[in-house]
Amino acid sequence: MITEVALPRHLKLPKTSIVKDKFDNLIQRRMHIASRIVDNPSNTYYFEVDNDQMRFFGIVKGSIVVVDKSIEVLSGKLIVCCVDDEWLVRKLCTRENSTYLCINNNFDACINITGKDIKIIGVVTWNCQPHNI
């Protein structure tokens, strides 16, 4: 429980300028998370991840991935795509004229998408995870 404490109006308290200055600066520079993680709002989408398949890259069940459609899709980027009516977060990799969707940096559990018709939504720019409290 929080209780208000009454202090005399003209009480001389020791200066705590270091703490006060840092707190004042913090309030003045209050950051909105969207301004930090979204560069292009009209091309940005958010997806909640429903499994742990991308845990190698720190993306686990319950994570929110921020996806930007305006970023060029290149090998080595994490992407959100639709393959056979299934939405996936994967790392796009090219190797020996073939293209793969990978869940880690090895090619042991990759999907070969060479010649397949897939829909790429965009590049993952951020991953936000809840901390259970």
Residue 28 lies in a domain: no
Q: What is the predicted pLDDT for the residue at 132?
A: 74
Q: Give 5's DSSP letter.
A: -
Q: Could you tell me the mean pLDDT of each successive run of 10 residues in the chain, 133 residues long?
A: 47 53 61 83 94 95 96 97 95 95 90 94 95 69
Residue 23 lies in a domain: no
* Contact assessment for residue 46 and residue 37, using Cβ atoms and an 8 Å cutoff: no
Q: What is the predicted pLDDT for the residue at 3?
A: 37
Q: What is the predicted pLDDT for the residue at 109?
A: 84
Q: What is the predicted pLDDT for the residue at 93?
A: 96
**94 membership: H or E segment, kind and range:** strand 86-95
User: What is the number of structural domains in the chain?
Assistant: 1
The parent domain of residue 47 ranges over 40-128
Q: What is the predicted pLDDT for the residue at 24?
A: 64
Q: Per-residue DSSP letters for 31-82?
A: PPHHHHH-S-GGGEEEEE--SSTTGGGT--TT-EEEEETTSPP-TT-EEEEE
Residue 34 lies in a domain: no
Residue 120 lies in a domain: yes
Residue 123 lies in a domain: yes
Q: What is the predicted pLDDT for the residue at 20?
A: 58
| CATH number of the domain bearing residue 73 | 2.10.109.10
Residue 92 lies in a domain: yes
